[in-house]
Structure 1
Amino acid sequence: MRILMLGRGVIASVYGQAFEQAGHDVVHHVRPGRTAEYREPLAMDVLDGRRGPVGRRTCTTYRPRLRETSEPDDGVDLVVLSVGHHQLQEAAAFLAPRIGDATVVVLGNVWDELATAVAPIPVEQVVFGFPGAGGGFGADGTLHGAVLRSITLGAAVTPSDRRGAEARAAFRQAGFTLRDEGDIRGWLLLHFVLDAGMFSQALATGGLMNMVGDRRALREAFRTARELLPVIEARGVDLARHRTAVMPTRFPGVTGAALGLATVVVPMARATLAAHGDPHAAEPRAVLRDVTRTARASGIATPRLDRALHGH
């Protein structure tokens, strides 16, 4: 399968390498002029959840094939797009005239209605999901991160057998297990407010990495997320359908304590938080801004989130 990864960031590099190792033909589309800026090969220090129940640290190098142009006749079968939700519409508009009929996998937070978020790419052409990976680049260019064994995928509308099958096959062949989500819209909106809870608390602690082992901070994050559930209920999300994902907000103290312990003793849990740095970066700021704006438009009070944003 010929796979196009948009960019050469953390998510694109981690999954791009996994696809290439599985025998796929992988190329990375980067902005004009960026090819010369990247240091190759890319050194990767990744805790890999596909390698045992608690993951295994792997130190490898990856030499991604970079290109600065893409055209519909390139023969791409699958496009993987993972950007901040505030960049998604711009990225979709860029890709639409360049990818033909390729299946598009969008990995990451989405807050707009799904069809709007990916326009002008037809939503029927898209499979949505969330990456089980994160990390950052060190001063020497090394990618430090972690990747879980599982990944969540779903579709805004019932995709053709080809769309769903292509997306699932690519990840399975690369050693990942798939969780198929029937209500991907609701799942993504719920994940968004859970992230908002975590990011709001990260403002107080100086970053998610500083929440490793901090039971109180994690408890407060889930309490803030609970405050935000009415925001997505107002958008038609059936929380009962996602009761397992909602559970941490129902019992924030217990969940915070359990997750706090897990981030200390479980390498994968620790690496997942430690992979995130500056809470003032563009994506956390955009998550907090957009959920606050929607809450206000719906007339829903969010005092905990407001206090976190204003530092009191």
Structure 2
Amino acid sequence: MNILIIGLGVIGTTYGYVFSKAGHHVEHYIRKSSKNYNIKDLKVELLDGRVNSKGENVQDNYIVNKTTNQQQYDLIFVSVPSGKIESVLEELNKEKITGPILLGCGIWEKRSYIEEIMKDKEWILGYPVAGGNITDGTLYCCVFNNFMLETKEKTNISNYDDIKELFNQSQIKLEQPYDMLEWIWLHMAINAGVVSVAGRYGDINDVSSSAEGLMNSTKKLAEAVRSIRETSKIVESRGVTLKHYNNELFAYKLPTIISSPIMKRMFATNILTRKIMTLHSNLSDLLYVCQCVYDEGKKNKIEAPIFYNNYEMVQANFNEK
């Protein structure tokens, strides 16, 4: 497939690397005004969980192919904060670049909003199971063996089966939740519950050390579980039936005296899961997720004292610095 990755962010670049290693042609659309425009290649430090569940360390080099004169692609991969999707669409329209679009983003807006801005496009919702950062010319990342993708019945995309085969060739299994957008909301809410606790008891400006502090403490993990119970109620207030996502919420329904030691042991033994927690360093993205969930909870008058208090303290500490 001919694939276009929007930008040179961590998620898009990680999957761009994976797709290219599977034999597909990958290009990046990078604005000329971007600080990344002149980057020609990146060193890759990958913890690869696609074959080995504990992760396999891979060192490689990734050539960054920028868009040429091609205007039609088999897939356009977009992973940006949801507030920037419209600006991406404006760029694609300006450059007359077309093709089915995979939105692999944290989207808090309702489906009607997405349908409106994507009304002239073929598109599908997905969510990556990967993470990392790009520092000093090196892509530090980890990738799991699964990717969340909307069901064929809920999308207007014409080459759904080709996209399934792309992930299959890349040794990535597709998982399809009851409703992709609702699943994204719930995932964002879970992240907000975790981030608010990690930031409250750690240094919000040092995401990695805050994550380490959380994963090493049964007390903090117990509070994160209680916070997630609250943020999941905020998602429920949007009309989501939580029983459709019992698998995702099962661990957080257990008594914290059981769940927090299990989570601590899991983080201690599962290197891949621990790595993705410490590599995510995009502070503005993390705070955006928390703010979306916080505003929704307040608007819908949902009782969530642990989450609200922790996030307010995180914001106060962040604003002081």
TM more than 0.5: yes
Q: Is the 8 A contact 1:124 1:158 kept in 2?
A: no
Distance 1:128 1:209, change over 3 A: farther
Q: Is the 8 A contact 2:3 2:24 kept in 1?
A: yes
Deviations 1:96-117 (A, max 9, x none): 5656652111113111013414
Deviations 1:80-106 (A, max 9, x none): 000123333433443356566521111
Pick aligned residue for 2:236 from 233, 236, 257? 233
Q: Is the 8 A contact 1:17 1:64 kept in 2?
A: no
Quick check: 1:167 aligned with 2:163?
A: yes
Q: Is the 8 A contact 1:78 1:104 kept in 2?
A: yes
Take 2:20 and 2:302, find their aligned partners in 1: how far apart are those partners?
A: 46
What SS does structure 1 have at the residue aligned with 2:101? strand
Aligned residue identity for 1:297 = K
Q: Which residue of the partner structure matches residue 45 of structure 2? A: 45
Q: Which residue of the partner structure matches residue 265 of structure 2? A: 261
What SS does structure 2 have at the residue aligned with 1:151? strand
Distance 1:161 1:92, change over 3 A: closer
Q: Which residue of the partner structure matches residue 110 of structure 1? A: 107
Paired residues for 1:209-220 under 5 Å: 209-220=212-223
Aligned residue identity for 1:58 = V
Take 2:87 and 2:228, find their aligned partners in 1: how far apart are those partners?
A: 28
Take 1:92 and 1:219, find their aligned partners in 2: how far apart are those partners?
A: 41
Take 2:45 and 2:63, find their aligned partners in 1: how far apart are those partners?
A: 14
Q: Is the 8 A contact 2:125 2:180 kept in 1?
A: yes
What SS does structure 2 have at the residue aligned with 1:162? coil
Take 2:12 and 2:52, find their aligned partners in 1: how far apart are those partners?
A: 23
**Aligned-pair identity (%):** 23
Deviation at 1:156, TM superposition (A): 9.4
Distance 1:310 1:130, change over 3 A: same
Q: Which residue of the partner structure matches residue 11 of structure 1? A: 11
Runs (5+) with no aligned partner, structure 2:
315-321
Quick check: 1:221 aligned with 2:231?
A: no
Take 1:256 and 1:76, find their aligned partners in 2: how far apart are those partners?
A: 46
CA RMSD of aligned residues (A): 2.5
Q: Which residue of the partner structure matches residue 318 of structure 2? A: none
Deviation at 1:292, TM superposition (A): 1.4
Aligned residue identity for 2:182 = G
Distance 1:37 1:75, change over 3 A: closer
Deviation at 1:300, TM superposition (A): 1.5
Take 1:101 and 1:32, find their aligned partners in 2: how far apart are those partners?
A: 19
Larger deviation, residues 4-13 vs 223-232 = 223-232
Larger deviation, residues 74-83 vs 28-37 = 28-37
Take 2:218 and 2:96, find their aligned partners in 1: how far apart are those partners?
A: 46
TM-score (norm 1): 0.89
Q: Is the 8 A contact 1:114 1:123 kept in 2?
A: no
How many residues end up aligned between the 2 structures? 306
Deviations 1:135-173 (A, max 9, x none): 1123x3211121101111015962247342232222112
Deviations 1:198-217 (A, max 9, x none): 11112122332432333322
Deviations 1:241-284 (A, max 9, x none): 11111112212623332222122222111111111236xx2111
Q: Which residue of the partner structure matches residue 173 of structure 2? A: 177
Q: Which residue of the partner structure matches residue 245 of structure 1? A: 248
Take 1:225 and 1:218, find their aligned partners in 2: how far apart are those partners?
A: 10
Q: Is the 8 A contact 2:81 2:105 kept in 1?
A: yes
Pick aligned residue for 1:298 from 293, 297, 300? 300
Aligned residue identity for 1:154 = E
